Structure 1
């Protein structure tokens, strides 16, 4: 088991990439500094093409980075093969030996490290029980279904003792949808039992939140936020985080400075003192307010702090309704209880101040944070390059 540290990690698939700071478009991974602590359950989340698999393959040793270092504990491993890094990797599609039995597949990596036969049998049984493969141990892998083969592939990754980490690259792609939830929970239980560093790559936020204690969200080759599922939902550090996390994602209102607040068109919107202070230091015209559909209050009654809007459509989604409204020419989505009924299309919106987030140049600013148990303030959550998180 190991703590994995990434230092100034950058990678380009071009033969002669230009400087990463001046030409980030040349790079699939852009100067990432990050730490995966020993024994953690992590998810690497992001859309297709954001660099997730590239980063995973660099950590495993399948790919050498163009720049920077990968450290296992305090040892630089850039030139070491996956075997010498003692990494177990489970790929998107199952990798099994069809001619072998399930037991043979699980025993194979243990035979390679010359584990005694009696110990191999015990370990194979233990992992087979964990993944509910005991009844298939004597079956040839070629006779298994695709999802059963993937369970065997996952079991092979888990069977080795004292691995540095187990890396999962979208392992549930071929799994039957009815089994996905069960397998995610099973992986979580296995992590709790074995205390192995696990990194789970996915584009599915539900998979990430179910498995991981902390999520690294990638966007355009950078980690734009690292934290708990709750932190990514409640305090998105970047507009992309707000957009990507949640169903539906965060609403964004383009704004301009106006006195001690901001305005959208000719509508004045009050902001907090911390947000006002952050605006004073900025000359950017790229200003947005963000608020999640869950946190907008909607009613048919006007109040002093409400804003008029018109209902465009209503979707009934079981336990709640998703209401699309026209707010002075801007479409916003509002999540309301299923039992709420409308007598007309005229409604009023309230934006609670604690859920109204200010973004300058796409990054969250003007938010209180806790340091040593005490609330302090900062101008921006953006790190040096927006990708330096530990």
Structure 2
């Protein structure tokens, strides 16, 4: 395994008019499992293919530990890569497909057999080892393809480009667990590309979030959920995503419309427009009392089984509240929303600039 270091790496497919990947400096630390998360077209696959050598970046340099590999072809980088769709020798058996990368590198026969059977057992392939790969369904073929990428014990990194796309949804939970188990066993540096937040948050030690070709935040799953540094992270992670409300700072008071909802925490922020971000899990609906609240009109309730999602409007702006199942709120009723100060953030130009402090000193806005 290796530290993979990018120094000012960027790529353009049109001669620099636009950037698929904006110049980026970043280090993927050895032996960690990373998820590269973002919507289609944000630069995830471009970045992965730059690391593997399938693409030479327009600008910047790439290092594996202290060795520069910017101009080194894929074969010279000792990388295992798994693509979105199966890449197999269809006439070979599953066993031979798994063994091929090791045979190609002259690994001793006994070690090949041991490694193939270990990966096969972890991925649930024991009962199809002697079957020809073309006779498997697409999902099982992709699992074999995944095994080919994981069977080598000595690689600089394993790169996975949305490897579970064609796998049956019921199998995905199991395979993510198996991937984590294999990662613990091998200590590979893993970089896993996905647009699925569930895959990213359940698999990775660290999640790197991309938007429009740039990294907007990276951190452990809990950090991204509880403390988003960018509006996009708040929106993209979470189901449903973070509520956003336009607000105004006047002095040190934060106002939504004519209602004072809190103060700016810590250092004084310049007056002017901001956006308040708070996740549905942390909004509370309470009767008006000593603590001020935002009046909101209930527009509907989604009964999700284990919980309810109460949809409201603050003025013209939607706010979703996650409540216990069986809530009795009625459409068109006016309720009052309270935001916990330690879970409510302020954003300017999409970037977090501060957080909310309570007006009354009790921890709620």
Partner of 1:103: 95
For 1:301 and 1:186, the matched residues in 2 are separated by 50
Q: Note the 1:132-211 alignment, pairs <5 A.
A: 132-211=124-203
Whether the 8 Å CA contact 2:296–2:315 is kept in 1: the answer is: yes
* Change in 2 beyond 3 A, CA 1:142/1:200: same
CA 1:11 to 1:302, structure 2 compared with 1: closer, same or farther past 3 Å? same
Uncovered stretches (5+) of structure 1, i.e. residues with no partner: 19-25, 369-390
Alignment check: 8 A CA contact 1:44 1:201 kept:
yes
Report the secondary structure of 1:62's partner residue.
Answer: coil
Aligned to 2:362: none
- Pairwise CA distance, 1:355: 1.2
Paired with 2:127 and 2:316, the residues of 1 have a C-alpha distance of: 61
* CA positional deviation for 1:327: 1.2
Please state whether the residue corresponding to 2:149 is helix, strand or coil: helix
Q: Distance in 2 between matches of 1:342 and 1:106?
A: 56
Q: What SS does structure 1 have at the residue aligned with 2:263?
A: coil
Structure-2 separation of matches of 1:35 and 1:367:
29
Show the counterpart of 1:13: 13
Q: Tell me, yes or no, if structure 1 residue 312 matches structure 2 residue 299.
A: yes
Q: TM-score, normalised on structure 2?
A: 0.94
Distance 1:79 1:135 in 2: 42
Residue correspondence of structure 1 range 1-390 to structure 2 within 5 A = 1-14=1-14, 16-18=15-17, 26-274=18-266, 277=268, 279-280=269-270, 287-342=274-329, 345-366=333-354
Counterpart CA distance in 1 for 2:118 and 2:306 is 41
Query: In 2, Cα distance between the equivalents of 1:267 and 1:357?
Result: 17
Is 2:244–2:276's contact at 8 Å kept on the other side of the alignment?
yes
Alpha-carbon separation, structure 2, partners of 1:111 and 1:150: 21
* Corresponding residue SS for 1:27: coil
Give the secondary-structure state (helix, strand or coil) at the position aligned to 2:92.
Answer: coil
Alignment RMSD (CA, Å):
1.6
Q: Give the drift of 1:125.
A: 1.5
Partner SS for 1:256: strand
Question: Deviation per CA, 1:129-165, whole angstroms, max 9, x where unpaired?
Answer: 1212122111111111111111110111111121000
Q: Distance in 1 between matches of 2:273 and 2:48?
A: 33
Rounded Cα–Cα distance in structure 2 between residues aligned with 1:139 and 1:273: 63
CA pair 202-286 structure 1, distance change in 2 beyond 3 A: farther
Which secondary structure does the structure 2 equivalent of 1:366 belong to?
A: strand
Deviation for aligned residue 1:357: 0.1
Structure 1 position 286, deviation (Å): 5.4
- Secondary structure of the residue aligned to 1:270 is strand
Q: What is the DSSP-based 3-state SS (H/G/I as helix, E as strand, rest coil) of the residue aligned with 2:141? A: helix
Bigger mean CA deviation after superposition, 320-329 or 183-192: 320-329
C-alpha displacement at 1:304, in angstroms?
Answer: 2.9
Give aligned pairs, total: 355
Say which is worse superposed, 238-247 or 128-137, in terms of deviation: 128-137
Q: Indicate if the aligned counterparts of 1:271 and 1:353 stay in contact, CA closer than 8 A.
A: no
C-alpha displacement at 1:73, in angstroms? Answer: 0.5
Per-residue CA shift, 1:201-243, capped at 9, x if unaligned?
0000000011101100000001100001111011111000001
Change (3 A) 1:302 1:60: same
Q: Distance in 2 between matches of 1:257 and 1:148?
A: 56
* TM-score of the pair, normalised by structure 1: 0.88
